Amino acid sequence: MSNPECACHESKGEPLDAARIDQIITAHRGDPSALIQVMLEIQAENRWLPREVLARMAEALQVPLARVQHIATFYKAFSPVPKGRHDVHICMGTACHVRGAPRILDTVEELTGIAPGETDMELKFSLETVNCLGCCALGPVVEIDGKAHGHLSPAQSAELLQGYE
């Protein structure tokens, strides 16, 4: 990056600068045992964890960079790549599958141009499939930004996506 003070970008498009990263770390008194909590807070504000941010955390918390990188890639809560403003999770569990989840997935893939595990170029949507969202009676279910939408048809899922900026 050309600006060394700008480590990454928030979902609002404003830079999450080094000072903000340091502020989050300081709120945890620089305690190495707070590493995961620091990562969660930065991920919540920024939607992903760039390498530069991981290095800054490792240095400030005096934790080996390899450990920080391992945690960032091991846990699904963290993303080492940019994520879209809207997280779309499509349940592919048995109840949803037999009620048409594969057709919902096909529709969402076609509309967004992305496959599960990907983010579109405009950073609008990130798509994931999940094994169960815990609301089987509502199947097929699509969860967007934590809100479950059930009993969807492919056409309804298309309409649903069009309502998100």
| Confidence at residue 9, expressed as pLDDT on a 0 to 100 scale | 39
Asked if residues 123 and 81 have their Cβ atoms less than 8 Å apart, the reply is no
Q: What is the pLDDT of residue 29?
A: 86
User: Two tokens at 144?
Assistant: 């967007």
- 23, exposed or middle or buried, with CB in 10 Å at 0-12, 13-18, 19+? exposed
Q: At what angle do helices 65-74 and 51-61 cross, to 10 degrees?
A: 130
Q: What is the pLDDT of residue 31?
A: 87
pLDDT of residue 11: 39
Report mean pLDDT in 10-residue bins for the chain, 165 residues: 35 60 87 92 87 91 94 88 91 96 96 93 93 93 94 95 86
Answer whether 27's CB lies under 8 Å from 40's CB.
no
Q: What is the pLDDT of residue 7?
A: 37
What is the identity of the amino acid at 76? K
